[in-house]
Amino acid sequence: MDIRVSLFDDNAAIRESLGELLRYTSGIVLTSVNADATHVLKVVASERPDVILMDIDMPGFSGIEATRRLHAATTQVQVIMLTVFEDEERVYQALQAGAMGYLLKSTPPKELLTAIAEVHEGGAPMTPSIARKVLAQLRISSPARAMLVPDHQLGQREQEVLQCLVDGLSYKMVADKLGISINTVRSHIKHIYEKLHVRSNTEAVAKTINERLLG
């Protein structure tokens, strides 16, 4: 089934280039291209996108505020922040607002398309440098537990995949490191989610660090 994608960015050149990429990519339907997010709830209600690519700095109100409003409205759409900002404050504000992915605009087109598929399947794609910031903060804010908790019956390969997620690797990087296909990585991650009772990479990584699942 095709993934329905809406784009929000106030930069005309970005809207044109990304719009063309998405419009001519098999498996993706570009539902709308928007210069601001002031009408984001109406767009979601009428266009019913599965995924939104959201800039942060836009007129009216920011992409972070738009994401917060979408989350408050309990919409099922998955938001990927696509921005030039990589400071910790904006990253955490975006994730707290409900964004499920955070990519820099320098992300190559092929990786962007992979990220869209990942978030649609329940993942939480992040530019590696952003993932490292998030993990560093999680380690700082999560004191070590005195005792290890059960491993939730994760298999050896699932533990290896989970460790890669904790290290901030993308699905493709996990596949390359472990010598398996991306589809196999996705299958392992699906099983990890089920066993850890989480719904995203971010939750899985946070639980792993908080509960020291990998020792």
Rounded distance, CA 179 to CA 144, Å?
Answer: 32
Return the structure tokens found at 79: 């938001």
Calculate the dihedral angle through the C-alpha atoms of 186, 84, 31, 29, rounding to the nearest 10 degrees.
Answer: -40
**36-78 residue pLDDT tens:** 999 999 999 999 999 999 999 999 899 999 999 998 886 789 9
Q: What is the pTM of this model?
A: 0.69
Domains and CATH numbers, the chain: 3-125 (3.40.50.2300), 142-211 (1.10.10.10)
DSSP string, 70-87: HHHTT---EEEEEES---
Walking along the chain (215 residues) 10 residues at a time, the average pLDDT comes out as: 95 95 95 95 94 94 94 85 89 86 92 91 81 66 44 82 82 89 88 82 75 72
Q: What is the pLDDT of residue 167?
A: 78
Ranges assigned E (strand) in the chain: 3-8, 28-34, 51-54, 78-83, 101-104
The answer to whether residues 33 and 25 touch, using CB atoms and an 8 Å cutoff, is no
Q: What is the pLDDT of residue 126?
A: 86
